[in-house]
Amino acid sequence: MTLLKIARMGHPVLIAKAEPVPDPTAREIRELADSMVETMTDAHGVGLAAPQVHIGKRVIVFLAPEERAAGEAPTDVAPLTALVNPTWEPLEEETVLGWEGCLSIPGLSGAVPRYKRIRYQGLTPQGQPVEREATGFHARVVQHECDHLDGVLFLMRMTDFRLIGFNEELRQYMMKPEAETPPE
């Protein structure tokens, strides 16, 4: 495992479409996923996509910890997961605004509309198929990481640019402690 350098907004790899992985269980993909987990954990993140470490392949790692879940729904949480060639679809039309940050856009957060309930699927680098329903923060992190595979950053999904700011200011003035939802 290796700590990888994280690309920051402005690097072209972050706005390029990532390539599908032909052999999801290849040793290099397992090693990539392990290094992405190490890099994400070191950076105190909860999600990371391969383009963020300068690798244009469709690999993501993420977790949806209990402390980020707004409610009690089991679909709100997910263990640390690595997925190759993930896909997802919304299960209902409804979207919700929530705060997001990104390791490639350090220091800033913005309120982004995301689908409330989705289903996603993919293969782990160990060859296990994963198919899950996700809600709340879990649904949000999966949509955010999958967006990275298509060269989309959370800023590009924002609909109200008043709801972006530096974390220190937002924490003081806008984010409630329990804080999924930005002020109207």
User: Which residues form the interface with Ni ion (CB under 5 A)?
Assistant: 102
How would you label 136-155 residue by residue, b for 16+ Cβ within 10 Å and e otherwise?
bbbbbbbbbbbbbbebbbbe
- Cβ nearer to Ni ion, comparing 92 with 150: 150
For residue 184, the minimal CB distance to Ni ion (Å) is 25
Half-sphere exposure of 156 toward its Cβ, with a 13 Å CA cutoff?
11
The residue nearest Ni ion at its CB is 102
102/134 with CB nearer Ni ion: 102
- d(C-alpha 123, C-alpha 84), whole Å: 5
Q: Quick one: 16 or 26, whose CB is closer to Ni ion?
A: 16
Cα distances from 145 to residues 7, 14, 103, in angstroms, run 14, 11, 11
CB of 118 to Ni ion, least distance (A): 17
Provide, rounded to whole angstroms, the least separation between the CB of residue 103 and Ni ion.
Answer: 6
Closest separation in Å from C-beta 127 to Ni ion? 26
Please identify which of the residues 145, 168, 169, 180 carries the catalytic annotation: 145
Residues 6+ apart with CB under 8 A from 164: 108, 109, 110, 111, 155, 158
Question: Smallest Cα–Cα separation from 35: which of 68, 63, 61?
Answer: 61
Give yes or no for a contact between 125 and 30, defined as CB atoms under 8 angstroms apart: yes
Please say which residue, 8 or 126, places its beta carbon nearer to Ni ion: 8
Query: Quick check: is 145 catalytic?
Result: yes
Helices (runs of H) and strands (runs of E) counted in the chain: 4, 8
Catalytic (active-site) positions: 145
